[in-house]
Amino acid sequence: MVFASDSFLFLFLPVFLIVYALTPGAARNLAILAFSWLFYAWWRADFLPLIVSIAIWSWATGLWIARAEGGGRRRALVVGIIWPLASLVWFKYANMFVHSAGALGASVWGWQDVLLPIGLSFFVFGAISYSTDVFRGTVRAEPSFVNYATYQSMFGHLVAGPVVRYEWVAQRLKERTFHRAEFMFGVERFMLGFAQKVLIADTLAPLVDAGYALAAPTTADVLLAVAGYTLQLYFDFSGYSAMAIGLGLMVGLKFPENFDNPYLATSLSDFWRRWHISLSSWLRDYLYIPLGGNRGSTGRVSMNLLVTMGLGGLWHGASWTFLIWGLWHGFGLMVGRVWKTFGLPGTGAVLGHVLTLAFVMVGWALFRAQSWAQAGVIFSGLAGANGIALSPAMGAAVRPLEIATLVLGIGFIYLPKLLRIDPAAPNPGHALRAWTALPLFLFAVLVLQGRIVVPFLYFQF
């Protein structure tokens, strides 16, 4: 089940909100948990025990970590992250290792591909951050399993983020009161996120698919497809994040903002402070800083960046193309840091923005590729191997609606900056957003009736 589906909009969500409203305050976390596990089981009930087992394991070992002393705390931490991490490695990367071995001439007799449970990457990162924070003493171990499992399993962020940390919701898990204004703002965020997913991201999907399906794309074909994917990915994932934040607010839980106009960044480090913020901050706090962070020689810091971004790339998908995408960004961050270290002149805001966006889009071209062969086709086309102008095949595949949506998407990137609009701010100065949320949502629901349900892009990660 996805948020942008009739089954969620007209069955699951209304029933959940009614049951939640009728449930006494002390049992409301249990209501959220029951519906969250039902939400997950709607996809594959046979994977629900895995999710539940990770929650039980992390909760129990969290209590162990809190009570242990001396070296026992570190042993408890290691045990606490073993099962979640082992689950992630097996379900997400076993196929990649086996297929890579096959490409080198080795084979695993009778191997059958392992299906990746949706949302496992987000779920595991939440479990690891909780165990680590209890070990560091930044949060207290949660004594209630229901409260902990509600944090981990809440359907709003369960399958595609944000990567929520326990400390962000700990207080409200224990005690929260209903605020009508907060609930309505949550509804607003959900409706706008739904609209940008359906009306922009899903509308651009055929354009992107057409470009990547070409056997010999031209430079213009690739540029058009990559521009479309750049916007599709952003509006799809930021739309999901807005819906998740809205769902959280409806039940009194505050999830972090996950995007801050990333395509307005003026440097690559600025981009990563704005894009998928919950993941980038997780990589910083639980991987980059423990590796040494900015401490040490230029070479050591550069290696820390490459390792962090390389593993961040693999987190996105079990493919060597994702590793190279991560290293591409690690290399860019490394160059930017070395540039500053030696006091070389800056690029200025405008040129920095253009160079950053170009660098990011080159990365997206690889990120979208399904294989090395397809990546080779895309980059050879970008280099002009098949001509420069738009090909007849791409011209025939692209509809005026998709071009108009592309232009509209670009406008939504830059207009809030020009008009000084903060899309996440719940204050009366942005009444235009509140007035437009319902019409856009209803129009998106109408459009959805004529389409098949398009899963969120980050479901695959």
Backbone angles phi, psi at 430, to 5 degrees: -120, 45
Which backbone phi and psi does 185 adopt, to 5 degrees? -65, -35
Asked whether the beta carbons of 401 and 221 are under 8 A apart, the reply is: no
- Whether omega for the bond prior to residue 117 falls within 30 degrees of 0, making it cis, is no
Task: Give every CB contact of residue 104 below 8 A, 6+ residues apart in sequence.
Answer: none
Distance of CA 375 to the CA centre of its chain: 22
Q: Which of 363, 400, 370, 173 is nearest to 268 (CA)?
A: 363
Q: What is the pLDDT of residues 294-309, one digit of tens each?
A: 988 889 999 999 999 9
HEC readout, 276-297: CHHHHHHHHHHHHHHHCCCCCC
pLDDT at 77: 97
Calculate the dihedral angle through the C-alpha atoms of 156, 159, 162, 167, rounding to the nearest 10 degrees: 70
Dist. CA 343–CA 370, nearest whole Å: 40
Gap between the Cα atoms of 365 and 224, Å rounded: 11
Please choose, from the candidates 252, 247, 62, the residue with its C-alpha nearest in 3D space to the C-alpha of residue 175.
252
Residues 123/104, Cβ–Cβ less than 8 Å: no
Catalytic residues: 316
Spatial CB neighbours of 139, under 8 Å, sequence gap ≥ 6: 130, 133, 166, 167, 170
The Cα 427–Cα 412 span in angstroms is: 20
Cα separation, 47 vs 437, whole angstroms: 36
For residues 5 and 453, is the Cβ–Cβ distance under 8 A? yes
Q: How far apart are CA 459 and CA 159, in angstroms?
A: 6
d(CA 345, CA 24): 61
Measured CA to CA, the distance from residue 439 to residue 213 in angstroms comes to: 35
Q: What is the pLDDT along the chain (461 residues), one digit of tens a residue?
A: 788 889 999 999 999 999 999 999 889 999 999 999 999 999 889 999 999 999 999 999 999 999 999 889 999 999 999 999 999 999 999 999 998 888 787 777 778 899 999 889 999 999 999 999 999 999 999 999 999 999 999 998 988 779 999 999 999 999 898 899 899 999 999 999 999 999 999 999 999 999 999 999 999 999 999 999 999 999 999 999 999 999 999 999 999 899 999 999 999 999 999 999 999 999 999 999 999 999 888 899 999 999 999 999 999 988 999 999 999 999 999 999 887 765 656 678 899 999 999 999 999 999 999 999 999 999 999 999 999 999 999 999 999 999 999 999 999 998 866 544 555 555 443 444 556 788 999 999 999 998 877 777 766 66
User: Under a CB-based contact definition with an 8 Å cutoff, are residues 58 and 148 in contact?
Assistant: yes
